A = this chain, B = another copy of it.
Amino acid sequence: MSKQLPVLTDDGAGCCAPIAQMPLPAEHAARLARAYKALGDPVRLQLLSLIASHPDGEACVCDITAPFELTGPTISHHLKVLREAGLIAGERRGTWVYYRPVRETITELSTLLVLPQAAATVS
């Protein structure tokens, strides 16, 4: 019965304890909800997955546009939403633009949803 809490030392990003630990303050809820909302679209979720699962740790826009039956501007719009949510970061190198996942933000969202061990129902 070891009680171990995953101590995460995220400077700035991971400011909040998991949702089950204490009620989430309103000001943090607003910021975090914006990030979750960015994930609340199937295209964006797949875009993030494509970028995060790319072998090089980053992906060119030209590569991640093809799998979708959407126009360029629409993909660009979704990338902007992910970027402004702090989930990805982009950089232009020559002709192409490369995006990479932002670990701190993604990890923060994951940690927030970690639930404590189910308490064994003692009499």
Interface residues of A (CB under 8 A from B): 19-24, 26, 29-30, 32-34, 36-46, 48-50, 52-53, 57, 67, 101, 103, 106-107, 109-115, 118-119
- Give the distance in Å from the alpha carbon of A23 to the alpha carbon of B53 in the complex: 6
Query: A interface, by DSSP: helix, strand, loop or mixed?
Result: helix
A39-B40, A45-B24, A53-B22 in contact; A107/B101 too (CB < 8 A)? no
User: Which residues on B sit within 8 Å (CB–CB) of A33?
Assistant: 39-42, 44-45
- Give the distance in Å from the alpha carbon of A39 to the alpha carbon of B24 in the complex: 13
Task: Output the least CB separation between A12 and chain B (Å).
Answer: 14
Copies in the complex: 2
- Contact call A49/B110, Cβ cutoff below 8 A: no
- Give the distance in Å from the alpha carbon of A9 to the alpha carbon of B52 in the complex: 23
- Give the distance in Å from the alpha carbon of A2 to the alpha carbon of B40 in the complex: 27
User: Which residues on B sit within 8 Å (CB–CB) of A44?
Assistant: 33
